[in-house]
Amino acid sequence: GKTQADLTDPTVPAKTEVEDKNHLTDDEKAKVKKAVEDANKDKFPTPKEGQNPTKVEIGNDGTATITYPDGSKDTIPGTDL
């Protein structure tokens, strides 16, 4: 079967301006995370019972890792965000 990552093609939001794209501040990470979540609020799958909701994590370089309820993942490179 296909994973949720196979079935979901995350929308890349408009770029977030940051001072140093290799070292995002916590504030900048929060902005990027919100941008990714807002751009995908209608796309992220609804978790089944016992599953966690889709989680977005932003790395120091701005890369977004999206973990779906079934545990599969998508990544958006920081250079795109």
**Ranges of each domain in the chain:** 4-80
**Is this structure's pTM higher than 0.85?**
yes
* Sheet hosting strand 64-67, strand order edge to edge: 55-58, 64-67, 73-76
Q: Which two tokens stand for residue 74?
A: 């998508």
Query: Of 36, 39, 34, 81, whose CA–CA distance to 61 is shortest?
Result: 81
Q: Which CATH number fits the domain 4-80, given the four candidates 3.10.20.890, 3.40.50.170, 1.10.260.40, 3.40.50.10440?
A: 3.10.20.890
Residue 28 DSSP SS3: helix
**Side-chain half-sphere exposure of 63, counting CA atoms within 13 A:** 10
pLDDT by position in tens, the chain (length 81): 899 999 999 999 999 999 999 999 999 999 999 999 999 999 999 999 999 999 999 999 999 999 999 999 999 999 999
